[in-house]
Amino acid sequence: MIKVRFAPSPTGYLHVGNARVALINWLFAKAQGGQFILRFDDTDIERSKPEYVEAIRRDLSWLGLDWDAEEFQSKRLERYQAAAEKLKADGRLYPCYETSQELEFKRKLQLSRKQPPVYDRAALKLSAGEKAALEAEGRKPHWRFKLSAAKASWNDQARHHDIAIDLASVSDPVLVREDGTFLYTLPSVIDDIDMGITHVIRGEDHITNAGVQIDLTQALGAVPPAYAHLSLLIDASGKGFSKREGSASLQELRETGFENLALCAYLARLGSAHAPEPVLSLRELIQGFDLADFSHSTPHVDLVELERLNAKLLHQMPYEMAQERLGLDEGFWLGVRGNLKKLSDAKQWWDILRQPVAPAIEDGEFTAIAAGLLPVEPWDETTWPAFTAKVKESTGRSGKALFHPLRLALTGQEQGPEMKTLLPLIGRTRAEARLKGITA
């Protein structure tokens, strides 16, 4: 069975880049009849917060993404320790005693000599006595994984070609800190093995990591998953998105009034060969989903385009979907949806049509004449053209001089949905009062 995972660290709020990775993993799994695992990479005890765990759950649920299992790395520390001990016994995990200052000095020296800043494996040359002497000074080792001399290669399912990482050009990664805590790499690989992850779909900033993780997976006697690395999103200014900086967080987009389906439709097509179009369910995005549709180009997140897509979704949204959230009547919804940008705008029109409004009277004599020409109810979409024809005949006005003061008096707004739709929703009693300048 296909299994994918979305593995955020609960150290901040999800942004649109995180949401795109989660969505594409979810769509890939659903299209293949597979499973989507939510895994919290929470080994950073100091920065991981319960409130961010809840925020991530809330954001994914808002997007409409469900998960088949939920895991926490903080509950699996014994498993990671056992794997580390195996790697030590196999000679693949070795202790290093350099301080961060010493490592930085080495790096600068290598760069000054125009050498690649790769760890020189000096710790492998230490004798038992030298190690004992360093520990007697109070130094505690960090532990590096000894990379193999081979190249790590895979066919990347989002880049659409083979990628090879020369491991000789990569520093042996630190897997365990001086205090015994684990860095990202070891827990991630162990979890992918234990949870049966078949495909790792993530951002292109992890391409070099994939080479290291393939080597580590093989050192642990397992078969690496397939990898797919997506191009990273950038904003209109060319900057990337950062969870730490809180840029374009899902919480902010949700509170601003964007629809989850609009955001999903936008992110699912961003960077692909298909232009984003509004959808009324995530099932529409699952059908025909293919990683091969994504290109290598860097996608720009355009919030103006997202706003347009959000409006198009609302213009197509059936009454049943809106009624669940707003509790309004069908005639009202069908009348105003074509002018909405955010669903919250509907409340403004509900208040205009169904609550007392102070009319904006441009020409009191003209609107008073119009009030006397209002037909008897019942009203429908033919009432407005019949009414304005009578007003035109009586006053001689036409065009903007006819329609603008009537709209202002009846709605208090310069523009909006067609008046043939709004007038029956306002009703005769309110319409007559407003045309006479009375709040109603």
What ranges do the domains of the chain cover? 3-72+182-230, 79-176, 356-435
Confidence of residue 423 (pLDDT cuts 50, 70, 90): very high
The contacts of residue 14 (CB under 8 Å, 6+ apart) are 8, 22, 55, 56, 59, 60, 243, 249, 250, 251
What's the confidence (pLDDT) of residue 246?
52
Query: pLDDT value at position 354?
Result: 86
Which whole number is the average pLDDT over 302-310? Answer: 95
* Topology (CATH) of 356-435: Arc Repressor Mutant, subunit A (1.10.10)
Give the DSSP letter of residue 271.
Answer: T
**Cβ atoms of 268 and 285 closer than 8 Å:** yes
Average pLDDT over residues 196-214: 97
Query: DSSP labels for 48-74?
Result: --HHHHHHHHHHHHHHT---SEEEEGG
- pLDDT tens for 165-202 read 999 999 999 999 999 999 999 999 999 999 999 999 99
Residue 245 has pLDDT above 80, yes or no: no
Is 23 within 8 Å of 65 (Cβ atoms)?
yes
Secondary element (H or E) of residue 217: helix 207-219
pLDDT at position 17: 93
Interatomic CA distance for residues 325 and 235, integer angstroms? 31
How far is Cα of residue 116 from the mean position of the Cα atoms in its chain? 36
Contacts of 384 (CB under 8 A, 6+ apart): 418, 419, 420, 423
Give the pair of three-digit tokens for residue 334.
Answer: 């069908």
296 has a pLDDT exceeding 90: no
Name 272's bridge partners: 294
Residue type present at position 163: I
d(CA 432, CA 440): 9
Helices (H), 220-329: 250-256, 260-269, 283-286, 303-316, 319-326
Q: Is the pLDDT of residue 3 over 70?
A: yes
Cβ 52 vs Cβ 40: under 8 Å? no
Highest mean pLDDT among 265-274, 328-337, 350-359, 384-393: 384-393
On the question of pLDDT at 243 being above 90, the answer is no
Instruction: Give every CB contact of residue 293 below 8 A, 6+ residues apart in sequence.
Output: 272, 273, 274
Instruction: Indicate the range of 32-36, 319-323, 325-329 predicted with least confidence.
Output: 325-329
Task: Please name the helix (run of DSSP H) or strand (run of DSSP E) that holds residue 219, with its range, or none.
Answer: helix 207-219
**Reported pTM:** 0.90
Output the CATH code of domain 3-72+182-230.
Answer: 3.40.50.620
Q: How many CB atoms lie within 10 A of CB 350?
A: 17
- Return d(Cα 317, Cα 193) in angstroms, integer: 43
In the chain, how long is the greatest CA-to-CA distance?
A: 109
Q: How many residues does the structure list for the chain?
A: 440
User: In this structure, which amino acid lies at residue 341?
Assistant: K
Write down the pLDDT at residue 236. Answer: 74
pLDDT tens-digit profile of 50-72?
999 999 999 999 999 999 999 99
The span from the CA of 148 to the CA of 172, in Å, is 9
Contact 11, 53 (CB under 8 A): no
Asked if pLDDT for residue 244 goes beyond 70, the answer is no
Nearest Cα to Cα of residue 144 among 171, 175, 179: 175
CA neighbor of 288 nearest in space, from 268, 303, 309 = 268
pLDDT confidence of residue 238 = 76
Q: Is the pLDDT of residue 237 over 90?
A: no
Instruction: Among 2-16, 224-238, 372-386, name the one with the lowest average pLDDT.
Output: 224-238
Average pLDDT, the chain: 94
Looking at 211-220, 254-263, 327-336, 378-387, which range is the least confident one?
327-336
pLDDT tens digits for range 344-388: 999 899 999 988 998 899 999 999 999 999 999 999 999 999 999
Residue located via tokens 């955020």: 8
> 156: which 2 tokens?
């990347």
Predicted confidence band of residue 240 (pLDDT cuts 50, 70, 90) = confident
CATH class of 79-176: alpha beta
Chain CA centroid to CA 134, Å: 47
94 vs 353: which has the higher pLDDT:
94
In this prediction, residues 246-271 reach a mean pLDDT of 91
Listed as own residue / partner, the contacts of 306-311 with beta carbons closer than 8 Å and 24 or more positions apart are 306/258, 306/262, 306/263, 306/266, 307/258, 307/341, 309/262, 309/265, 309/266, 309/276, 309/277, 309/278, 310/257, 310/258, 310/259, 310/262, 310/341, 310/342, 311/340, 311/341
